[in-house]
Amino acid sequence: MSNQSQNLFERAQKVMPGGVNSPVRAFKSVGLTPRFIDRACGNKIYDAEGREYLDYVGSWGPMILGHADPKVIEAVQKRVEKGLSFGACTEAEVELAELITSNIDHIEMIRMVNSGTEAVMSALRLARGYSKKNKIIKFEGCYHGHSDAMLVKAGSGAMTFGDPDSAGVTKGAAEDTLLARYNDLTSVEALMRENKDDVACVIVEATAANMGVVPAAAGFLAGLRKLCDQYGALLIFDEVITGFRLAFGGAAEYFGVKPDLVTYGKIIGGGMPVGAYGGSREIMEHVSPVGSVYQAGTLSGNPIAMTAGIEALKQLLEKPEIYTQLNEMGAYLADGLREACGFTVNNIGSLTCMFYTKEPVSDYDSACKSDTAGFSHVFRELLAAGIYVAPSQYEAMFLNTAFSKEDLDFTIETYRKILTQ
């Protein structure tokens, strides 16, 4: 462990809770001091002392084109010269909105915000305001940001720390959040039936990627669509991770199921802080200033962030072969890890997760059977070998276009060596 990272962490703990600005970064669950990253390029990151790591985190998903993509960097540098923020309308926000609405058929209007959490919070308020109903159905283990109503059996950091709820969330804030089992339509239908006149929406990670990677089972999303139509509820796809990654149109395109509302983050900003929510014109025109559902943001549509997002999305549109390449690499990595390690490896597209169990993982309960102590051991050995994965069992390995077959072979062989020592 680098002395520089240790020194920085000691300084950070004096001025920031836990020394971090997001809990999973603390490396608490793996018993280490976090690495402080100085720079990145392609699929490599470099810590404060200059050590190189093969990066499977990719800023938790946004870097689908690799770190410091030359075209994105050039576009941002040119835009920065004109100023950082105006708190006013700019052409860039219109261009990004047009780019998305003209290429994703289930989005006719979109509103830019600053994070995935903000996008989800706003979409839920819109669903309630549009439907004039109160209750929300979410799924155990699915993470939708840290707004109060969503911190009920959440995934990722909440699972890592062994407490799926949060202090400070009142009973009133969570009482309208109903919990269903992921990949279990019967549990959803039961909640719909019991609350048939008051379910505003069902929100789901169309591929769960915050309890590890847990793809939607065959027919699950189509079944949700049917139930929402039957009971008059909106279907919201949380595509903060899967949006523009599984396909340009995200999981909705990949699975061929049309949601009423979609939330975005990560890739939509090209590496800058951006979130968004969108849907049909009929629903979105309930948002202020044309409708009665209030939502605002001083830095929403920031021109620097919009510019980064435009350049990233243009490349994904212009080169559809990127998705073929990423999907093939993801399948290759997953197959190699299964053969090398003998554990359950879930994969969809460029998202992969190895669970330290031999049982299938299809929902929150089965994900929780993974041996987290085993994960922590492997994580430490991987880090020592120069491979950087998320410091939590319940996160994805993200691939980007900078990865090569040699990188994947090195990773697979490193796992094999660690687990056969």
Cβ-based neighbours of 55, under 8 Å, separated by 6 or more: 40, 43, 44, 45, 67, 388
- Burial (CB count <10 Å: 0-12, 13-18, 19+), residue 354: buried
238, 120 in Cβ contact below 8 A?
yes
243, 210 in Cβ contact below 8 A?
no
Helix, strand, coil shares, percent, the chain, to 5 = 45, 20, 40
Cβ-based neighbours of 401, under 8 Å, separated by 6 or more: 64, 65, 66, 322, 325, 326
The one-letter code for the residue type at 343 is F
Angle between helix 405-419 and helix 372-384 axes, rounded to 10 deg: 120
Question: How far apart, in whole angstroms, are the C-alpha atoms of residue 234 and residue 202?
Answer: 6
Active site residue 238: yes
C-alpha angle 117/123/126, rounded to 5°? 145
Question: How far apart, in whole angstroms, are the C-alpha atoms of residue 152 and residue 60?
Answer: 22
C-alpha angle 368/228/243, rounded to 5°? 60
For residue 19, what are the CA distances in angstroms to 27, 66, 132, 155?
11, 27, 42, 22
Q: Which of 266, 277, 364, 415 is catalytic?
A: 266
Take residue 415 and report the two structure tokens written for it.
């796992």
For residue 414, what are the CA distances in angstroms to 57, 269, 337, 372, 418?
17, 33, 10, 19, 6
Active site residue 14: no
Start-to-end CA span in the chain (Å): 22
Q: Which of 107, 247, 238, 115 is nearest to 182 (CA)?
A: 238
Q: Which of 47, 55, 69, 238 is catalytic?
A: 238
Q: Which of 53, 56, 130, 143 is catalytic?
A: 143
Active site residue 365: no
Angle between helix 70-80 and helix 303-318 axes, rounded to 10 deg: 150
Tell me the catalytic residues: 143, 238, 266
